[in-house]
Structure 1
Amino acid sequence: MSHTYDFVVAANRLPVDRVTGEEGNEGWRRSPGGLVTAMDAVMRGRDGAWVGWAGDPGEAPAPFDDAGMQLHPVPLSEQEIADYYEGHSNDTLWPVYHDVIITPTFKRSWRGAYRAVNKRFAQACADIAAEGATVWVHDYQLQLVPEMLRELRPDLRIGWFNHIPFPAVELFAQLPGREEILEGLLGADFLGFQRTEDAGNFLRAVRQYLDLDVTGDVVDLGERQVRAAAVPISIDVEGLREIVESDSVQARAREIREQLGNPEKILLGVDRLDYTKGIRHRLKAFGELLADERLDPSKHKLIQVATPSRERVKAYMDLRDQIELTVGRINGDFSSIGATALTYLHRSFDREEMAAMFAAADIMLVTPLRDGMNLVAKEYVTCCADDGALVLSEFAGAATELSDAYLCNPHDIAGLKQQIMKAVDAPAPQRRQRMDSMRALVSENSVQQWAKNYLASLEAAPKAPSTQAAS
């Protein structure tokens, strides 16, 4: 066996993107995000490796080192990308786990591909994990890996974390192969969720469909026990603060305001272009506030960033058409020559530009219809001015922690409009008090602390009696 590792992370994607230099030479660029930062710190202290797909179809590159992080690519064919990732993961599981906002598609061939790819990930982890190692599996794409991995390597300590919601039993019931998902997850020693409600949904599903004993947050399998609990994820607070406090980012924030004509209030939305994010509801509310003359297009400007996402999935193509039609109507009705009411940006931005937008914005609109956490809310709280305001959907996991936001039900357009206007009209001392409270909470719960909390829970989970690897 080649080199083995004491700590292995398994996620659908590796934490790098392939890039081509000016001279045509190919390399790798570290992906932004708190998860990568947290795992990097953990792996450096534990002799760790990351297992995931490199992003291109076909044969996987050989394992490689990226800035001290050991990466082990897993291959996916074009057909597997279509069936496992775009199909079962994102056209079946994703809508079911997000309250069936759109109708999920169920295909047996997709389930077969999902099973095959999960088995490949499990084998990749088993091949590189040292005796008694810890393996941390991430997210809904890899829900069968824990059980498959336990069958291969019962000596391992296995954890799984769900970055998205876990649905209510009544919605989970629609899923073909629902028992297979539950059994797959119960291969772990500890299952982490964003909210207590998500863990509760999982435990109720286990009780109903597997007829297992559940006491508190522990499932009794007879030969061993599995714990399921909330461990809400966060952001790299210090890293983001360092970026936003830099002279260049502060200058860019001022420039953004100047480019918009120095309005009284800048409203900002930053989302993946996804039907779960409530972008259409937000735009409808903004358009109606302009029509009602409660907002003035010369004084109140909205920037909506919609980063491209799953562009080969029809539901996402349709959503883009709907959003861009709405943007055109709003600007057609309320913009003037040289003064646009709504700035719509359908592309990705680096962390510096995003931090500058957060710093420039007076009011952040985070209005998902369902979201596991929504880290954008926490990023805004970290970056914004002391009297910034956050309008936050009560259906985002972040609402459990950020209760001093202006909470809203995005399905209730009248209520959403009311909360936006409360944020716009609130006196500065009130906004400052709310923001101070939220900022303190986010600062105390960084993504590094989240990783420590999760791994402590995994280590404290009941030990399996078997400590011998399968032959």
Structure 2
Amino acid sequence: MSRLVVVSNRIADPRKTAAGGLAVALGEVLNNSGGLWFGWSGKLVDEPVGTDLPVHKQQAGPVTLATMDLTREDYEAYYVGYSNGVLWPVLHYRLDLADFDAGYIEGYRRVNQTFARKLMELLRPDDIVWVQDYHLIPLAAELRALGCQQRIGFFLHIPLPPPLIFAAIPGHDWLMKGLCSYDLVGFQSRADLDNFTRYIQDEAHAQDLGEGRWRVFNRTLQAGAFPIGIDVKEFESLAAGAESMDMFERMRREYSRRKLLVGVDRLDYSKGLPQRLRAFRELLAKYPESRKSATLIQIASPSREDVSAYTDILHELESLCGSINGNYGELDWMPVRYMHRTVARARLPGLYRASRVALVTPLRDGMNLVAKEYIAAQDPDDPGVLVLSRFAGAAEQLKEALLVNPYDTAGTAEAIHVALEMPLEERQQRHQALLATIRKADVHWWCDSYLHLLGQAEAEESGTPWLRL
């Protein structure tokens, strides 16, 4: 059986449940093949650019964890500058926030070249390599340049915008050629896949070979949509744990006379947090009966606070929360409970279960697993309602949620009102359908279906056995 090699910007020890469902799912497949997980260690060293830094190895059961440190200059260029200052905003459709002119691209290339060189030393002839996310788009091209013949797949966890938006990136053709150096490119949604195929057809004159296969840049690749899920059983187990139950009981006691709404997000301009708060303010203004009965708990965990765009949104959120509470709050009721910190994962299911409505309203999101976690945490006899942005990748699957346009303040407020007033029978029917969807397409399905297709393609072209899960 072929060994699986996972490459990502950061790695996690799959034995630790705090690592989350993705790490656990990847860990299972890596365990089965005695696999290798390669990535940045998260550590910075004060060495000159170009210093030949070593690879650190440790065992996590049968899985080898291999990591590299980064120099501070490489970190600033590759991670902060290009990955999060150029690619993140553009791929989330925010050209206005991209810093195109700072010259970060050379650092991005350099780190990908270094990763490729170090990874090549660790590869075996029959390995299958699975690269994760936008930090490492050119990695396959760099590996190919070093003579790598192994099968290499790529999965983009965030959105891919339409061709004209992607083409705004200087060097967009180089990036797309890098994507096409993979054997299988996976996206979160059909919309992202469609944007990819439109680009390679319009810009690179790709030949459609049918069944998701394309001939482009003198090679054949396959592309598909593989919407990522959660480990539903693992999350249900977490929900039954002591910390989750304690949170649920506390919320139920403290807000016994209220209907709770919940939002759990990283502090990021893609999440639509100011728009969400404005919609909640519109709810209070338009439906006076919601006053003193509806409380929004909004958690916005810290994220990249050294970037000015994040500082701006932090100040905007604090101003909006203060304004709403000042205009509508009473001595015994505050409309918004805003927390700019992280809540322990083991406690979140209890908060989800205590909330009548979840607001998952990003302006653009690759998938958004909070929506799926909220569904998994609900009491099927008395479930809450998911209000979901149509611009989240999850909206393609979760049709029974109340889908909203987060740019439409009045429309989102109306949907929140409908969710708060929805009768029990309708809530149960919607939840039953949503739960069936996330059970069927869970994180293990995502992992298995992607690797099965990548392995099949290898068997067709080389005749070697593919990775069996």
Q: Distance in 2 between matches of 1:42 and 1:124?
A: 23
Aligned to 1:104: 98
Aligned to 1:158: 152
Q: Distance in 1 between matches of 2:435 and 2:91?
A: 29
Using structure 1 for the length normalisation, give the TM-score: 0.91
1:231 aligned onto 2:226: yes
- Per the TM alignment, residue 124 of structure 1 is displaced from its structure 2 partner at its CA by 2.7
Structure 1: gaps of 5 or more residues: 18-27
Question: For 2:224, what is the secondary structure of its paired residue?
Answer: strand
Question: For 1:155, what is the secondary structure of its paired residue?
Answer: coil
- Per the TM alignment, residue 338 of structure 1 is displaced from its structure 2 partner at its CA by 4.4
1:360 aligned onto 2:357: no
- Per the TM alignment, residue 432 of structure 1 is displaced from its structure 2 partner at its CA by 0.8
1:420 aligned onto 2:416: yes
Structure 2: gaps of 5 or more residues: 46-52, 465-469
Question: For 2:124, what is the secondary structure of its paired residue?
Answer: strand
Contact 2:97 2:309 in 1 (8 A): no
1:342 aligned onto 2:329: no
1:7-156 paired onto structure 2 within 5 Å:
7-15=4-12, 32-58=19-45, 62-66=56-60, 68-100=62-94, 102-107=96-101, 109-156=103-150
1:392 aligned onto 2:379: no
Question: For 2:142, what is the secondary structure of its paired residue?
Answer: helix
Q: Distance in 2 between matches of 1:29 and 1:413?
A: 41
- Per the TM alignment, residue 175 of structure 1 is displaced from its structure 2 partner at its CA by 0.8
Question: For 1:131, what is the secondary structure of its paired residue?
Answer: coil
Q: Distance in 1 between matches of 2:151 and 2:218?
A: 15
1:443-454 paired onto structure 2 within 5 Å:
443-454=439-450
For residues 12-53 of structure 1, give each alpha carbon's deviation from its aligned partner in whole angstroms, at most 9, with x where no partner exists.
111159xxxxxxxxxx97753221011100000011111111
For residues 430-466 of structure 1, give each alpha carbon's deviation from its aligned partner in whole angstroms, at most 9, with x where no partner exists.
0110001000110112101110000011112265569
- Per the TM alignment, residue 264 of structure 1 is displaced from its structure 2 partner at its CA by 3.5
Question: For 1:129, what is the secondary structure of its paired residue?
Answer: coil
Q: Which of 322, 330, 336 is 1:328 aligned to?
A: 322
- Per the TM alignment, residue 97 of structure 1 is displaced from its structure 2 partner at its CA by 0.7
1:242 aligned onto 2:242: no
How many positions carry a matched residue from both structures? 452
Aligned to 1:433: 429
Q: Distance in 2 between matches of 1:249 and 1:206?
A: 47
Q: Distance in 2 between matches of 1:317 and 1:380?
A: 28
Q: Distance in 2 between matches of 1:46 and 1:460?
A: 16
Q: Which amino acid aligns with 1:395?
A: F
1:186-205 paired onto structure 2 within 5 Å:
186-205=180-199
Q: Which amino acid aligns with 1:14?
A: I
Q: Distance in 2 between matches of 1:72 and 1:295?
A: 57
Shift in alpha-carbon separation, 1:105–1:466, aligned structure 2, 3 A: farther
1:457 aligned onto 2:453: yes
Aligned to 2:48: none
User: Aligned residues: percent identity?
Assistant: 36
For residues 223-274 of structure 1, give each alpha carbon's deviation from its aligned partner in whole angstroms, at most 9, with x where no partner exists.
6410111011001111101111235522320212222x31341100011101
Q: Distance in 2 between matches of 1:334 and 1:224?
A: 61
Q: Which amino acid aligns with 1:249?
A: S
Question: For 1:241, what is the secondary structure of its paired residue?
Answer: helix
Q: Distance in 2 between matches of 1:85 and 1:308?
A: 17
Shift in alpha-carbon separation, 1:120–1:336, aligned structure 2, 3 A: same
